[in-house]
Structure 1
Amino acid sequence: MMGRGRTRGRHRATLGAFALAAVLVPASGCGSPVEFYKPGGGGADDPVVGLGGAAPYVPPRTGRPRAADPPGTVPVAPAGGRVYAATGPGMIAPGARGVPARLYVADGRGIEVIDPRTLRLTGRFGAGTAVSRVVPSWDMRRLWTVDAVRDVLVPVGARTGRQGRPVPAVDPAALYFTPDGRAALVVAGRPRRLEVRDPRSMRPMASVPLPCAAADGDFTLDGGHLVLSCTSAGSLVRVDVPGRRVAGTVRLPAGARPGDVRLSPDGGTFLVADAAKGGVWAVDARTFATGGFVRTAPGARGLAISRDARRLFVTGGGTLFAVDFRARRVTARWPLPGGGDALPGGVTSDGRALWLADPGGLVYAVSTRTGRVLRRARLRGRPAGLCVHPQPGRYSLGGTGLYR
């Protein structure tokens, strides 16, 4: 059965706000010649031996989670230049250990909180608000909801679910955190700018004017630049974060409508989903030049990376595509329920499933090996965003499932 962590009974309270249908599919496992948890098999708060790849898990020495590393003390670039070396199965950061695994679904009327194991509603907050995104903070101890209708950012405790005081933010389209954890970056659509803020209080510190309306993005390997996509302008913009300036732009071929952005595992290429052209552009991270195109299907918009960092998952046109990073070709294509335009929320900690949200009112998990639907939940609202929390990684960069 997907997800072998210990069941937490105290999180099974049902609020009965919507009807849920669950389909549970057992997954086979294999034995081990030594006694240790298989990758992804330990609990969410079980530490790993190393961060270089799949590793055995050892029982925790104490029931209390270790404190998270403070901002500025975690190396930005992973060892050996492997971007996702610390996001493998079960590699939950110390600050997020003990945080219950939850699905946070922004449905246009608030945030539904769902237990991914039981598919039961465990909470709801922000009722009556039009939240479009739920973003984990850099240390993953809190969540930030992005509400462009009320022009606010609202903090929520990841363990308690308690909301903090709303912070004013004009037309926020997205929220990011610098890899060193020292700044939050709010992408504003009106006026077009990137606001640099204190990552805890969200107090404004600086502002960078943008040449186009941006939203989705990712950071370079060294963390010094944030690359954002401008859908309506058909271009990408590169922001020098320490220098507080736009360092360059690149216009994609005529008719392009870039969306989600992900950095390749070697840090050399940005992969950019294009709904209009129906595929993924490869843009050189150093020269900022377009270097190829992988065709998937019209409507390609959402991107997610497998736990072994070998495949890029692309959603669009009612289909989930798996693209091999090294070969840059589609290796699998799986139809999605109802052919809907699904939004990726994140890969599970063990890497076995990818959670997706369909704006038609469905949240479901598909196998990252076969594409088969493993679990599904029907909602009353229309999901506009999905966040799976916590996920493996040393820290969160915000956005939609950006971790390092």
Structure 2
Amino acid sequence: MNLKHRPLLTTLALLALTACGTESVGNRDRAEERRGTKAAIPAPVKEETVKGLPGMPPVLDPKDVYAADRPNQLSPVVKDFPSRVYVPNSESDTVSVIDPTTYEVIETIPVGGQPQHVVPSWDLKTLWVNNNRGHTLTPIDPKTGRAGREVEVHDPYNLYFTPNGRYAIVMASLDRELVFRDPHTMERIKTEPVTCYGVNHADFSLDGRYFIVSCEFSGELLKVDTEQMKVVAQQKLPFDGAMPQDVKISPDGKRFYIADMMAHGMWVLDGDKFTTPSFLPTGKGCHGLYVSRDSREMYVSNRGEGTVSVFDFTRNQLTKKWQLPEGGSPDMGGVSADGKVLWLSGRYDSEVYAIDTGTGAELARIPVGAGPHGLAVYPQPGRYSLGHTGIFR
């Protein structure tokens, strides 16, 4: 209420009435407190301002899509799962299982042909190994570490889940398809053919109503309507020979970052407008993108030079670059549940790197099978998984 423009008498009367009312309420509250009858005042409820995809869990914070990913904020579903790092070895057809407390491989699981990524399911209960050339998915129970019976799925290069948990989305890279499937049985529900080559990585908008997909071999981006399961826009990146890889949305949901291993940096895209993106150089072979537990920074793996760049969201700039002391080929991975360790596969060196997120120091270099790729750190904080090696909200 604006008192400035009210007549003086009216304003004085209003102030007097307000003062009397306040005193009355205060006296009543103190009396109730003495009698022990005053009811507790409920905390104000934060209004939901984001109209999300139907069936999607409410957005916790419209200013931070990663609000559910704080250190050790584990869902009741996963809180008793043992902490492990699952490494798909694409040239050995195995998954190496690392104990992150000892930095040792404690088990090697045989899987199908050319496993590419280990993907947490939307309900957090299963890890799916994407056996790309074996045309199967291998389920792993993260509570026991045991692999189940393989499910036949053609060309599963990567795997995502719609934010409402209704569909799994198989990135069929060579088939040039986005295949929407039942998230449990993996039965095919709808196939969306694409005209680009090499669909591989994606991330969803703040409201979950669309997602951005990178096309590795034709240097293109797709915008897909989640509910319609349909490509609604497509563009060619403005760089000759562009090779887009990982995709991540900014905490405020306003920008998408797309790693490009041939342009050696990140494209910065306004997903809503889907206009031509700007470019930010990071390092040779820019490949994987991982957000810190406080949503302030993003770790960028530069596979071609053995470094990790650190991008500050608030400052909108790169602030650090960490060099692996003996070189390497840092590729895909994830951040530990407490946020203190960044785990990355060494794609061409048959090893995995554990990196201190506070200092950038290499904590361990662990031998694994040949061609380690999309490793998953599990469990991680979050209410549900959108797929890949662990995109949690």
TM-score w.r.t. length of structure 2:
0.81
2:298 is aligned, of 291, 302, 312, to 312
The 3-state SS of whatever aligns with 2:386 is strand
1:114-172, Cα deviation, whole Å (9 max, x unpaired):
11101233322225742111101112111101011111112111112222222222211
Supply the distance in 1 between the matched residues of 2:311 and 2:61 (Cα, whole angstroms).
Answer: 25
Percent identical: 40
Q: Paired residue for 2:216? A: 231
Residues 76 and 222 in structure 1, CA contact (< 8 A), matched pair in contact too: no
Supply the distance in 2 between the matched residues of 1:242 and 1:216 (Cα, whole angstroms).
Answer: 19
Question: Higher helix share goes to which structure?
Answer: 2
Give unpaired runs (5+ residues) of structure 2.
1-45, 47-52
Q: Paired residue for 1:331? A: 319
Residues 387 and 400 in structure 1, CA contact (< 8 A), matched pair in contact too: yes
The one-letter amino acid paired with 1:230 is C
Residues 330 and 353 in structure 2, CA contact (< 8 A), matched pair in contact too: no
Give unpaired runs (5+ residues) of structure 1.
1-51, 53-70
Give runs of ≥4 in structure 1 deviating > 4 Å.
71-74
The 3-state SS of whatever aligns with 1:200 is coil
Supply the distance in 2 between the matched residues of 1:387 and 1:350 (Cα, whole angstroms).
Answer: 15
Question: Residues 5-404 of structure 1: matches in 2 within 5 Å?
Answer: 75-107=57-89, 108-109=91-92, 110-127=94-111, 129-212=113-196, 213-255=198-240, 256-316=242-302, 317-359=305-347, 360-404=349-393
Residues 288 and 301 in structure 2, CA contact (< 8 A), matched pair in contact too: yes
1:220-275, Cα deviation, whole Å (9 max, x unpaired):
11112121101221110011121121110122113222111000000010001111
Supply the distance in 2 between the matched residues of 1:123 and 1:239 (Cα, whole angstroms).
Answer: 38
The one-letter amino acid paired with 1:307 is R
**CA root-mean-square deviation:** 1.8
Supply the distance in 1 between the matched residues of 2:73 and 2:168 (Cα, whole angstroms).
Answer: 24
Q: Paired residue for 2:7? A: none
How much does 1:338 deviate?
Answer: 2.8
How much does 1:175 deviate?
Answer: 0.3
How much does 1:380 deviate?
Answer: 4.7
Distance of aligned partners of 1:338 and 1:76 in 2 relative to their CA distance in 1, 3 Å threshold: farther
Supply the distance in 2 between the matched residues of 1:261 and 1:251 (Cα, whole angstroms).
Answer: 16
Supply the distance in 1 between the matched residues of 2:173 and 2:380 (Cα, whole angstroms).
Answer: 28
Distance of aligned partners of 1:93 and 1:73 in 2 relative to their CA distance in 1, 3 Å threshold: farther
1:160-189, Cα deviation, whole Å (9 max, x unpaired):
222222222221111001111111111112
Supply the distance in 2 between the matched residues of 1:296 and 1:128 (Cα, whole angstroms).
Answer: 34
The 3-state SS of whatever aligns with 1:170 is coil
Q: Paired residue for 2:5? A: none
Number of residue pairs the alignment of both structures matches: 335
Distance of aligned partners of 1:193 and 1:73 in 2 relative to their CA distance in 1, 3 Å threshold: closer
Q: Which one has the largest radius of gyration?
A: 2
Name whichever of 260-269 and 160-169 sits farther off: 160-169
